[in-house]
Chains A and B, each alone.
Chain A
Amino acid sequence: MSWLDTIVQGIMLGGLYALFAAGLSLVFGIMRLVNLAHGDLIVLAAFLILLLITALGLNPFLAAFVALPVMFALGWALQYVVLNRTLGDDILPPLLVTFGLSVVIQNGLLEGFSADSRRISAGMLETASLQIGPVSIGTMPLLTFASAVGVIVALNLLFYRTSLGRAFRATSDDSATAGLMGIRAERIFATATGLAMMVVTIAALYLGTRANFDPTMGPARLIYAFEAVIIGGLGSFWGTLAGGIIIGVAQTAGAAINPEWQILAGHIAFLLVLIVRPRGLFPRAVD
């Protein structure tokens, strides 16, 4: 295995981590809410896709497409009915409530789908690959990375080019004054979480086709997502992508040296970036 190959595979893996992290970044950027159940919601979405595949016989991509509006509605309702009530000057209530939600989702999934590990089959695509020069890239990792870039571009366009994006930023700046503009913060927050759940669904598709998943693996995904968001700089989508890539490359490089080092290398890279740039690579100017 050449170093070039290792780095390319790491970048592709970084795309997956960026997908895990983008929804977290979106929600935190708008309402300063840290959602500890984010990883479990990814696993929930993966089970939803699996359910749609087995029940309706859809192919995985179509199943994910069907799951998108369902997850948006779920996120919207979760924020509007539950999480909005936890927002305030105190940061503890949202942490406690989303931690509880994480436990509820894990146990609900265990009850409904058992502890067996599952996977989403992508058929021929799983083994297909592209040969680019000396490097061979799997089609699924390439699709994952392309989707991550697509999601980041779309979120940036939404944020900086649309009326809804202006409302997101205004509410994040000053929700009382935003109210004077006719912006209903509780609905803006619900829409943001709905969008985050759509990103979660895309992440879940690639999580499920890449490797096995089971109901209790959410928190481990959450750590990578957190690390990507934090070293990217809070509130920056491109930073989140960069953060994901750094974690991905570090893990792949660590694994290339010694498979035992894979996870540790990612965490060390995270700490190193924080030592050099405590506010992340692309911190928001206004905070």
Chain B
Amino acid sequence: MALLEIHGLTAFYGDFQALFGIDMSLNEGETVAVIGANGAGKSTLLRSISGLIRNAPGHIRFDGGEIGALSAPDVVQLGIAMVPEGRRLFPSLSVEENLLIGKYGRSSNGAWTLDAVYDLFPVLKERRHNPGMSLSGGQQQMVAIGRGLMSNPRVLLCDEVSLGLAPVVVRDIYSAFPKIRATGASIVIIEQDIGQALKVADRVYCMMEGRVTLTGTPAALSREDIHAAYFGAHRR
């Protein structure tokens, strides 16, 4: 059985339906990428898993237990951490305090400590006493990922990691994912930057207008398939 299983998940913003019956699974130790254009429902999917959006029970199971109706703190406690879109660092906290707050909700003995995060992103160690918001966008993204890791999650959810970052910075950040999965964590990455996502993912889900339109391993998917699933039409 998969670690995280989603069956027939729907989500609404008022009358607007954002997800139409999503099926998805994530195995232990696996990295899955969810790609799709703006408004495809990727973030809604992630917010549903993390508890930011609370769903009707019965559609999301983690490690055998139902989690779709749980609050965000409850989900964190079970071992699912989220790196939110736009980094969302705490302005009043220093870099180090932003990292430390990541383990507030879950006491765990795992590989991820302050030192381990500083080994992963050495630039953060030099700036650990600076306010979190004084860092560049890429460094802030590193803090956000490190903050998520501090709870030693079994699943790390990353929303739009590359958004607004220069390609060279995105490459730096993506080089961390193999090291993160080496510690045993399963990862869900939401991306618009297809190239990066395909490089690190074991499997890919492509979403469009609230539905999964394509799934498979990166090697098995052709560019044409992805374009069709992403934009809804074959390129001529």
Contacts and interface: CB of A to CB of B under 8 A. Distances in A.
Contacts of A286: 91-92
Contacts, number: 68
Contacts of A170: 90, 92-93, 101, 104
Interface residues of B, number: 25
A163 B71 CA distance: 21
Interface in B11-31: none
B184 interface: no
Contact of A172 (B50, B84, B92): B92
Interface string B84-106: 10001011110001001110111
Given A169-B92, A170-B92, A181 B101 contact: yes
A173 B151 contact: no
A177 B76 contact: no
Nearest to B105: A182
A163 B72 contact: no
A104 interface: no
A179 B88 contact: no
Interface string A55-91: 0000000000000000000000000000000000000
Nearest to A284: B92
Given A163-B100, A163-B104, A183 B73 contact: yes
Contacts of B104: 163, 166-167, 170, 181-183
Given A182-B151, A183-B104, A173 B51 contact: no
Contacts of A177: 84, 88, 90
Interface of B: 50-52, 71-73, 76-77, 81-82, 84, 88, 90-93, 97, 100-102, 104-106, 147, 151
Interface of A: 163, 166-167, 169-170, 172-174, 176-184, 286
